[in-house]
Every structure is written in structure tokens, then in C-alpha cells.
Amino acid sequence: MKPVTDLEKYLRAYDEQLRTEAETPSAIRVSRLGTLRLVTFAGGRGFITYRDLGSLDEFGIATLVGRALDYFRKDPTIAGVEWKSRGHDHAPGLHEALLAHGFLPGEPESIMIGALEGLCADVPTPDGVDLRRIGSDPDVRAMSEMVDEAFGVSANTRLAEALINRLARNDGMELWVAETDGRMVGAGRLEPVPDTDFVGIWGGATLRAYRGRGIYRALTAARARSALAAGKKLVHSDSTEYSRPILERSGMLKVSTTTPYTWTR
């Protein structure tokens, strides 16, 4: 009998443990439409996700996409909707159906999974860099401004407000920053997934002038140590091509891809 590889084990754990209600802990409302979960977040954001699309053919998928979008269109508070697709799903005609209904594809990202211990091994903190967990409103706002700058987008207070609200709910999320010379230069978020083996690492960002110095990896290690202390075993992340090689060097595996499709009112 062929042995099960780590990649196969990780992908099965991802599908079974993460593609559930655990995927959207901060949802305001969740409705079901067939196999879909239609999620409403604060700030007028809709989100569509699912464990699988069953045995639907192209016509069935196109019909489902239309019905899901109609659900959000009827809510005037919804400004945009993201459909989260995965590369390993059986989904004939999904790309074409989403385009036909006005969804635009974003950049594909790698779904990375691995053991937390691998992220902590032999990871020094760069000289002159301090890592700390933050929670105060001023720190969260400063972190959000830095992340916007790192990603090259206009400053937006929406992220800061959402993070401040989540910290007030004490849902387990942790925010970590890297500082040098009194300035925040890197940041990342840790998301423990209740009732699973997993934590997620998200929002990793480093200012362009400070990249290539090991700051991203040091922040990742700090978050992994915190998760291990809380009893977690596995880590997952949707990674850009910038962060994927760093995570691979720490033993994480690319198990699939995910592509966001976005509809804007």
C-alpha cells in the first residue's frame, strides 16, 4: 500500500479542519446556499467559501454563482464580495462563471502548511530589531499604516478599526511587529483556529527598504513560538511568491493554490 505523504496529510487536514465555520471566526452573519457558506463581515464585505462543490457540472456551478451573488446584491450595505477558490477543487467552468457575473480574479497564492516547530528552528532576530506583540489602539493604527505602505496602497483606517474591534472581542488573534530605531518596519498576524490543530499566519509585511534582512522570518518564528506555547501543532498561510520561498525553507509545503475573485458594487 502506498504510504501517505506529508503533502497529502496536510491537504486532508486543511480540507477537513479549516474549510468549516473555523475559516470565518469574525463573521457577522453566515447563510447557507447548497454547499456554499455566504459570509458577511463588518465594513460591507461579503465572502463566499465552501468545503467543495460536490458533483455540480458547468451549468450547476454557473447557476450557483448567480444565486450567491444575488444574495449579496439584495443587501445594500455590501460593497464588495470575494469568492475564495482553491486549485485542487473539482469545479468545472467556475472561472468562466465568475467572470460572466462580474468577478475579477486576483493573483493566485500558494496554500502553505507545515509543522510549527520548523518555523522556530535556528531563526535569529536580526541585529537592531525588536519584536513585540501589540494590543493598544495607537500601536494597531501605526501598524496598519505601515502595512499599507509596505503593500504600496493608500492608507485606509478600515483595517485598523476591524483589528481593534477583534482585539476587544478577545478571539485569540495576536498582532506582532518588528521595530528598528523606534520605527515599525514589519508586522504579522497570528490566528489560532479553535478546535483544530492549526494556527494561521497572515498579513506578513515588511517595508521595502528593510527586506532581505530576515525580519519576515523572525516575525514568523515569534508567532510560531507563541502558537506552540498555546498547544497548536500545524500552521497554514496563503502566501505570495515573496513569502513562499521563506516558508518553504522552514519546512512548510505548498499543498494547493487559492485565487480570490472579487465583485465590486
244 in a structural domain? yes
Same structural domain, 149 and 59: no
Specify whether 122 is located in the same domain as 104.
no
Largest CA distance in the chain: 58
Clarify whether residues 41 and 119 are in a common domain: no
Q: What would the pLDDT profile of 26-64 be if each residue is shown by its tens digit?
A: 789 999 999 999 999 988 999 999 999 999 999 999 999
Closest CA to 46 of 197, 211, 265, 228: 265
Query: Is 38 inside any structural domain?
Result: yes
Quote the mean pLDDT of the chain: 93
- The torsion angles phi and psi of 213, rounded to 5 degrees, stand at -110, 0
* Domain finish residue from 111, 143, 175: 111
Residue 262 lies in a domain: no
Q: Is 256 helix (H, G, I), strand (E, B) or coil?
A: strand
Q: pTM score, two decimals?
A: 0.83
Task: Find the domain containing 29 and state its range.
Answer: 6-111
Instruction: For residues 101 and 157, state if they share a domain.
Output: no
Can you give the pLDDT at residue 2? 64
C-alpha 113/C-alpha 198 separation (Å) is: 9
Same domain, 35 and 100: yes
Residue 264 lies in a domain: no
Q: Is the pLDDT of residue 177 over 90?
A: yes
- Inside any domain, residue 194: yes
For 51-153, strand residue ranges (E) read 80-86, 104-105, 109-115, 130-134
| Grid cell at residue 239 | 502566501
Q: Total structural domains in the chain? A: 2
**Domain-located, residue 263:** no
pLDDT at 155 over 80: no
pLDDT digits (tens, 9 = 90+) for 213-245: 999 999 999 999 999 999 999 999 998 888 888
Q: Could you count the other beta carbons within 10 Å of the beta carbon of residue 47? A: 20
Name the band, by pLDDT with cuts 50, 70 and 90, for residue 1.
Answer: low
Among 76, 111, 146, the domain boundary falls at 111
* Residue found under cell 493573483: 107
- My answer on whether 203 and 131 are in the same domain is yes
